[in-house]
């Protein structure tokens, strides 16, 4: 936005080489605490962005796919849609993170990307709701993933910019609880909104409003001096890190990726699981059951995330929370996979118990995840880029898992044992448990 006697903001550092350094008048992460009001606004913005991307994941896409193809084809088509979308999430966070590290706008480094991401997500989700076939749905969902993760890249970087290390546990806990609250709101909306379009428009509007509220009130960090000419080769090379040289970053990345692989297994396929293995073929019934499962998961996730974040700051330990959280996620997924053994009624109840266990595990993991990652970043001048690389550990499992599940594990499990979804949950639980144990390879962090 241009005011009298003020030059227009330039979009990227590459376009502003030669400008005089701009003052960094944003609050610093070296201060005693974050700026007043930052935490609640960050909390609400996180809820908005997560709501936009999770509403489709927790059931909206499953129901949309069932409206376009027969139930027998739904698992494979859902895997294709979510897998392609997750690829765009995979590339957007590190790229946008790197660009935000180089952005020289008088309004700040992170703000423009949050605004762009929020607006793009809004229109992409409308496309998801209106998609008349699978190809259009793939394109729309890919756009939603790209733009929502672009907004998330800018949002996450503000924690490193403005929150001191000794308070990042509580902010990480807020982030963990915000994702769970967003999932709960999404489940309620999916259950009571009557059409696919409204199920996508509702999270799109809420996400847009809350993200803009944060961005437009943020006293953003302003880049002091030009980072130098933009070079494509150097830009791409900056995303590569040597795990041997930065072993902490490598082990933390792998830990996060494996735990997130397991965590997303139940959420993505719960709706189709109850349809195929428990005969719940009515979409309304699926979404209502999904709501109950989400309520239980969210209650436990929010409680353990907030408590875990505060507790980890007090005891100054992170790894034990990651390990305990990953193990609980694995146990919960195993219980969900065994649910058909108990019969229909008891089996559905067992899944709800599994959601509680997974929720506790996710809360403990998410309560320290952001704080742990920020503590081991090797280059404080490229925080957003490095956080984007680390966040690939969130999105890469989402890219791989749908293809592995929908095109290999579930069909093979059905062919060999007649229990494709249960086999998928067993595999996912083993992956999460492996991630829980690998965190002790990260050194220099208690």
> What pLDDT does residue 421 have?
92
Residue 18: pLDDT over 60 = no
* 145 vs 151: CA distance, rounded Å: 10
Predicted pLDDT at 20: 34
Query: How much is the CA Rg of the chain, to the nearest whole Å?
Result: 21
Mean pLDDT value of segment 223-251: 68
Q: Which residue has the tokens 């009130």?
A: 217
At 32 the pLDDT is: 73
* Arithmetic mean of pLDDT, 57-72: 86
Do 148 and 66 contact (CB within 8 A), yes or no?
A: no
Q: Among residues 273, 415, 233, 258, which one has the least CA distance to residue 355?
A: 273
Distance, CA of 120 to CA of 135 (rounded, Å): 19
Entry pTM: 0.69
Region 248-254: mean pLDDT is 83
Burial of 407 (0-12, 13-18, 19+ CB in 10 A): middle
| Per-position DSSP letters for 269-282, written without gaps between them | HHHHHHHHHS----
User: What was the pLDDT predicted at 235?
Assistant: 61
Flag whether pLDDT at 236 surpasses 90.
no
Query: Each residue of 400-440: pLDDT tens digit?
Result: 777 788 878 988 898 888 889 999 999 999 999 999 999 88
Rounded Cα gap, residues 175 and 374, in angstroms: 14
Instruction: Give residue 314's pLDDT band: very low, low, confident or very high (50, 70, 90).
Output: confident
The CA distance from 207 to 211, in Å, is 6
For residues 376 and 80, the model is more confident at: 80
Give the pLDDT confidence score for residue 237 in this predicted structure. 63
Contact 202, 80 (CB under 8 A): no
User: Which residues does 267 contact at the CB level (< 8 Å), separation at least 6?
Assistant: 57, 58, 183
Nearest to 127 by CA among 46, 213, 215, 52: 52
18, exposed or middle or buried, with CB in 10 Å at 0-12, 13-18, 19+? exposed
Q: Are 71 and 276 a contacting pair, CB within 8 Å?
A: yes
d(CA 358, CA 333): 7
Write the pLDDT tens digit of every residue in 79-104.
Answer: 889 888 888 887 887 788 778 888 87
Higher pLDDT, 379 or 263: 263
Q: Which is higher by pLDDT, 413 or 168?
A: 413
pLDDT tens-digit series, residues 334-359:
999 999 999 999 999 999 999 999 99
What backbone torsions phi and psi does residue 228 show, to the nearest 5 degrees?
105, 175
Tokens of 150: 């672009």
- Specify the CATH number of the domain 34-222+242-441: 1.20.1250.20
- Which residue in the block uniquely carries the two structure tokens 């849609």? 81
């Amino acid at each position: 936005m241009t005011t009298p006697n003020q030059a227009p903001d330039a979009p990227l550092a590459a376009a502003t080489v030669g400008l005089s350094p701009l003052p960094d008048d944003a609050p610093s992460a070296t201060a005693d605490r974050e700026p007043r009001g930052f935490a609640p606004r960050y909390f609400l913005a996180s809820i908005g962005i997560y709501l936009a991307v999770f509403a489709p994941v927790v059931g909206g896409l499953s129901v949309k796919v069932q409206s376009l193809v027969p139930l027998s084809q739904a698992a494979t088509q859902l895997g294709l849609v979510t897998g392609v979308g997750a690829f765009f999430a995979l590339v957007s966070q590190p790229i946008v993170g790197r660009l935000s590290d180089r952005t020289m706008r008088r309004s700040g480094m992170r703000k423009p990307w949050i605004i762009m991401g929020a607006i793009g997500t809004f229109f992409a989700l409308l496309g998801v709701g209106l998609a008349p076939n699978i190809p259009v749905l793939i394109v729309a969902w890919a756009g939603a993933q790209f733009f929502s993760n672009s907004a998330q890249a800018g949002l996450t970087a503000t924690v490193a910019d403005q929150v001191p290390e000794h308070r990042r546990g509580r902010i990480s806990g807020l982030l963990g609880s915000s994702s769970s609250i967003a999932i709960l709101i999404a489940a309620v909306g999916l259950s009571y909104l009557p059409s696919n379009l409204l199920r996508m428009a509702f999270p799109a509007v809420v996400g847009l409003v809350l993200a803009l509220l944060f961005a437009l009130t943020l006293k953003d960090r302003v880049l002091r001096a030009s980072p130098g000419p933009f070079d494509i080769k150097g830009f791409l090379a900056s995303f590569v890190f040597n795990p041997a040289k930065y072993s902490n970053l490598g082990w933390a990345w792998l830990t996060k990726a494996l735990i997130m692989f397991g965590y997303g297994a139940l959420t993505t396929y719960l709706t189709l699981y109850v349809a195929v293995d428990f005969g719940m073929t009515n979409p309304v019934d699926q979404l209502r059951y999904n709501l109950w499962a989400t309520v239980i998961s969210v209650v436990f996730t929010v409680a353990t995330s907030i408590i875990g974040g505060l507790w980890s700051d007090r005891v100054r330990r992170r790894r034990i929370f990651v390990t305990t959280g990953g193990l609980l996620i694995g146990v919960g997924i195993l219980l969900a996979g065994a649910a058909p053994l108990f019969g229909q009624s008891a089996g559905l109840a067992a899944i709800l118990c599994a959601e509680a266990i997974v929720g506790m595990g996710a809360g403990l993991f998410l309560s320290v995840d952001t704080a742990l990652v920020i503590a081991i970043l090797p280059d404080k001048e490229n925080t957003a880029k490095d956080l984007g690389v680390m966040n690939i550990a969130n999105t890469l499992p989402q890219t791989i898992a749908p293809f592995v599940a929908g095109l290999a594990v579930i069909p093979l499990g059905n062919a060999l044992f007649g229990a494709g979804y249960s086999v998928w949950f067993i595999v996912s639980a083993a992956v999460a448990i492996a991630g829980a144990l690998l965190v002790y390879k990260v050194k220099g962090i208690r």
